[in-house]
Structure 1
Amino acid sequence: MLRPLICFAGNIAFLFKNRQIPNDPRNIAIMRSGGIGDVLMSTPLVKAIRQEFPKARITYLVGEWSADAIKGNPNVDKVMTYRDEIIFQQHRKEVNKLIQRIKKEKFDLAFVLDKAWQWNVLAFMAKIPFRIGFDRNGEGFALNLAVPFDGSKYELEYYRDLASAIEISNVPIEMEFNISERDEKKAEQIIKKHAKNKTVILIPGGAKNPGQELAAKRWPPQYYGRLADELLSRKYQVVILGAKTDSEICKAVIRNMKKKNAVNLCGKLNLGQSAALMENSALVVTHDSGPMHLAAAVKARIVAIFGPTDPGRFAPPAARVVQDTRLVPPSYDIYGKLKNQRGSLALIGLDMVLKEVLAALK
């Protein structure tokens, strides 16, 4: 109930504001919190901003959790990080320090890619004179230019809307992730050591960041284990990937396998090494998660299992989607919450996923 009141008051307080877009911004901030996938989905917009303002200094403000998704991106001059918990746990003293850090940068234009009103106000308090972002049911009141957001289409299309609002055209649809030479070499070593056959990567974890954890988005580990057995019996090499925080999930996959010759690299690779391995694989199988977007960014073939989230909003265009809305209808709302959830991904059986996996491997 508090959000509508804040939005009502905010829209009155910010009724009169500058709507004149800067002609030649020289110091641009791009602000995005959340998970790795959230950051990766912003990379086409980042590229378009760089092409439109080639002489500008572009800084990407992001939490430490997801910073590696944008580090090394050639379209960004600086990556400015903060501890995610100060935002999601509302540490006011630390947030004020962050505002002062941003203020010292003297940005003249900000692209605020979060939908929550708090980020728009933060950019205002950091004295960024022109702020562009989204309006989600009135939350864009502190922005100079706000583009409507209703969650009805692919996330990257909203970034295109944002660009179009200031007459930036030709925003690509492909995400980008830059892999270092060192990480490429590490992936080559792994492939040489383990991959006697075509490699299929299974990623059973993810679906979490410092702001939220949505276990309901994960296909059960026992199903991944059975899928691994099916692939191994067909002479594919199976590699299990994940972060250190996914180690128990990855172990559960192994426990549910009859064959024990899958390679478990969970927690052993950094983001770049994981991306390089995906890039050189025959297929990546996962659910709606950051690794799904990472695989898309390096143009890996993907089978993506969807349940409570809408693939129309989150699935990479080239991914083969496994979904049954009769069993698990989408219930993820525009505020990032599961609302009136029915069913679970346990209802998406092995046969349905295996069929798509084998089709993708042809």
Structure 2
Amino acid sequence: MGLSCRLLGLPFRLRSSPAFPPSPRAILILKPCCVGDVLLSTPLVATLRRAYPQARLDYAVGPWSRPLLETNPHLDDLVDCGRVGSGRYGWSDYWALVQRLRARDYEACFVLERSPLITLLPYLAGIPHRVGLDSGGRGFSLTIRVPVKGIKHEAELYLDTARAIGVKVERPALEFHPRSEERERAQAFLAKAHPLVTIHPAGGRNPGMYLPAKRWPAERFAAIADRIIENLGGSVVLLGGPGDEGVAAAVKDRMTNEPLDLTGRLTWGETGAVLEKSDL
């Protein structure tokens, strides 16, 4: 992959890249998937909004991760990536996304993917300024390439794309904005005993990917939950989405105390509201 991408990148490297505009009128952030990574990109969203308050700032994201951005106040619009970047997709899906992006006439795009196919999208859509991650030469079609080297937090890597064009990063923080009605519904579920600790024992599942080996063993979650209840007098909430019920049940079966199990019962917004109320 590395050698082929470097060869494909030769024509791009021979061209002179234009300077990034001081006041771009329309900016796109491209990150189709997945939930955790999209959430980790929200500091970049806020940074770009502060740097370019007059620009139209859109985000291209797939349906799986879209709920994480629907209430983000810094974004003007969300562009549906469809199946592209979220599991299996065909060339018709890919070309349809190219056409959607081209129709919106963006001046700049920040690409937060390492896939050469995803990175190529803004080039094919005619976006002149393309800033993004370059891992092993896979960002060959970008006009400003941000090297991915060593170990670095993913959120910081995304922020490096802003730093690469001279934008100052100040007090970065993850952002998620539950609606008021979601906060009210979440509050109705919660116990009053504190500390309130939420545990998400599942994970490792996204479109086109299932990696249960990334999960911590159920008996360890159970041991921690029991200690919180017995030693601290706190409350424990188990969180998860549809399909995670079995994982939550495995934790409950190993506990001597009773947690509040909300697995599969909450929307993304309600989940965020529960986390907002949690001490840990």
TM-score w.r.t. the length of structure 2 is: 0.93
Q: Which residue of 1 aligns with 2:278?
A: 281
Q: Which residue of 2 aligns with 1:334?
A: none
Distance between the aligned counterparts of 1:144 and 1:110, measured in 2?
10
- Are the equivalent residues in 1 in contact too, given 2:198–2:275 (CA < 8 A)? yes
Q: What is the number of residues matched between the two proteins?
A: 278
- Are the equivalent residues in 1 in contact too, given 2:58–2:78 (CA < 8 A)? yes
Q: Which residue of 2 aligns with 1:76?
A: 75
Cα distance, 1:196 vs structure 2: 4.1
Deviations 1:285-315, CA, capped at 9 Å, x for gaps:
xxxxxxxxxxxxxxxxxxxxxxxxxxxxxxx
Q: Which residue of 2 aligns with 1:218?
A: 215
- Are the equivalent residues in 2 in contact too, given 1:132–1:143 (CA < 8 A)? yes
Q: Which residue of 2 aligns with 1:183?
A: 182
Unaligned stretches of 5+ residues in structure 1: 284-362
Correspondence 1:111 to 2:126: no
Distance between the aligned counterparts of 1:171 and 1:36, measured in 2?
24
Q: Amino acid of the residue matched to residue 36 of structure 1?
A: V
Q: Which residue of 1 aligns with 2:6?
A: 8
Q: Secondary structure at the match of 1:50?
A: helix
Cα distance, 1:104 vs structure 2: 0.8
Distance between the aligned counterparts of 1:102 and 1:85, measured in 2?
13
Cα distance, 1:95 vs structure 2: 1.2
Cα distance, 1:23 vs structure 2: 2.9
- Runs of 4+ off more than 6 Å: none
Q: Which residue of 2 aligns with 1:101?
A: 100
Distance between the aligned counterparts of 1:154 and 1:197, measured in 2?
31
Distance between the aligned counterparts of 1:274 and 1:224, measured in 2?
19
Q: Amino acid of the residue matched to residue 253 of structure 2?
A: R
The answer to which of 9-18 and 136-145 deviates more is: 9-18
Distance 1:121 1:174, change over 3 A: same
Q: Amino acid of the residue matched to residue 10 of structure 1?
A: L
Correspondence 1:206 to 2:241: no
Q: Secondary structure at the match of 1:244?
A: coil
Q: Amino acid of the residue matched to residue 126 of structure 1?
A: A
Distance between the aligned counterparts of 2:216 and 2:161, measured in 1?
33
Q: CA RMSD in A?
A: 1.8
Cα distance, 1:85 vs structure 2: 6.0
Q: Which residue of 2 aligns with 1:240?
A: 238
Q: Secondary structure at the match of 1:167?
A: coil
Q: Which residue of 1 aligns with 2:90?
A: 91
- Are the equivalent residues in 2 in contact too, given 1:88–1:210 (CA < 8 A)? yes
Deviations 1:140-181, CA, capped at 9 Å, x for gaps:
110011111124222222233211221110343211111211
- Are the equivalent residues in 1 in contact too, given 2:49–2:74 (CA < 8 A)? yes
Cα distance, 1:243 vs structure 2: 0.7
Q: Which residue of 1 aligns with 2:168?
A: 169
Q: Amino acid of the residue matched to residue 29 of structure 1?
A: L
- Are the equivalent residues in 2 in contact too, given 1:85–1:210 (CA < 8 A)? no
Distance between the aligned counterparts of 2:83 and 2:272, measured in 1?
23
Q: Amino acid of the residue matched to residue 204 of structure 1?
A: P
Distance between the aligned counterparts of 1:280 and 1:39, measured in 2?
22
Distance between the aligned counterparts of 2:53 and 2:166, measured in 1?
15
- Are the equivalent residues in 2 in contact too, given 1:121–1:142 (CA < 8 A)? yes
Identity of aligned residues (%): 32
Deviations 1:41-75, CA, capped at 9 Å, x for gaps:
11111111111111111110011111111111111
Unaligned stretches of 5+ residues in structure 2: none
